[in-house]
Amino acid sequence: MDRANTKVAVVGTGVIGAGWAVHFLAQGFDVTATDPAPGAEARLREWVDAAWPTVMALGLADGASKDRLSFTTDVAQAVRDAVFIQESGPERLQVKHALIEAIESAARADVIIASSSSGLSVSEIQARATHPERIVLGHPFNPPHLIPLVEVGGGQLTSAGNVTRAMAFYASTGKKPIRIHKEVKGHIANRLQVALWQEAISLVQRGVASVEDIDTAISYGPGLRWALLGPFVNLHASGGAGGITHLLQHLGASQREWARDLGKYPETDDYIEQLAQGVEDELEGHDFAAMLRERDELLVQLIAAKASKAQIP
């Protein structure tokens, strides 16, 4: 796709929408963003300015410029003539339906509308649409301008062809899209995260380890491997010559026993104060803003290093 004078519309400019705007600008598109909130344009432009050094470090596409960002409070104006529409409005179904109606009043009928929704299903979002076949899930990971993953899927009324088109579009912008073949609550990566959080919370509540120790266990343990290879390939690597088959046959009984001992996600909010205090203790003496800047610098280096290795998927 020739990106000269090619517009992507970003509907909603909170943290996720702003990240998408940065990503598409860095990929050489014209971006028209829209958000009705007071002060939204100023906040968006501040966000773009702050994030620009990071995307410069990742590498800008030809023609990429912050100057190709425009803003309007009129959804119809934002989506008119757009080749792709990324919707990142609030996670409320009534709001999503209103946004889809406003988008469809001006967008071309064949243009894909991708929702960043992390909780609502595409089937719910597209229920009142005039052209539901072109509404897909395009769920990113935060921050969208930095983390390559995007989860793509359709609802009951989405055409398979449009899911394929969305996958191809995201891939062309440097994203790493994965396809969700069946709608489930929370999609894929969030469900995997919740499974880990569930046991992490349980271990804190049971007095097994502190919040800081659990963060260290992941960031200096399996998290290092997970950043390079996924859980199944890592299992395969741990199995020696027999690979994943040998490992699961060897450890299967133990893992089933461990699984039966896993904690449950808390049914009330009583645990929140304990975790918040644990995080506060962990961060004492640290500059959290500086920590996030260093995180982003290291992520850029890791992403670049992975991209340079042909055998690392």
Report the 3 state secondary structure along 282-300.
HHCCCCHHHHHHHHHHHHH
**In this structure, what DSSP letter does residue 67 have?**
G
Q: Does the domain at residues 7-180 carry the CATH identifier 1.10.3720.10?
A: no
Domain 189-307: CATH architecture, name and number where available: Orthogonal Bundle (1.10)
Task: Quote the pLDDT of residue 1.
Answer: 63
Distance CA 144, CA 117 (A): 13
Stretch(es) of the chain classified as CATH 1.10.1040.10: 189-307
Extended strands (E) in the chain: 7-11, 30-34, 69-72, 84-87, 113-115, 135-140, 149-154, 176-180
Instruction: Write down the pLDDT at residue 313.
Output: 83
Number of H helices, E strands in the chain: 13, 8
Per-residue pLDDT of the chain (313 residues; tens, 9 = 90+): 667 779 999 999 999 999 999 999 999 999 999 999 999 999 999 999 999 999 999 999 999 999 999 999 999 999 999 999 999 999 999 999 999 999 999 999 999 999 999 989 999 999 999 999 999 999 999 999 999 999 999 999 999 999 999 999 999 999 999 999 999 999 999 999 999 999 999 999 999 999 999 999 999 999 999 999 999 999 999 999 999 999 999 888 899 999 999 999 999 999 999 999 999 999 999 999 999 999 999 999 999 999 899 888 8
Q: Using CA atoms, how far apart are residues 246 and 236, in angstroms rounded to an integer?
A: 9
In whole angstroms, give the CA distance from residue 146 to residue 47. Answer: 13
Per-residue model confidence (pLDDT) at position 310 = 87
Which residue type sits at 301? Q
Nearest to 166 by CA among 156, 149, 182, 154: 154
* CB distance 62 to 28 below 8 Å: yes
Please give the single-letter amino acid code of residue 196.
L
**Whole-number pLDDT of residue 251:** 87
> Is the pTM of the predicted complex or chain greater than 0.95?
no
CA dist., res. 297 & res. 291, Å (int): 10
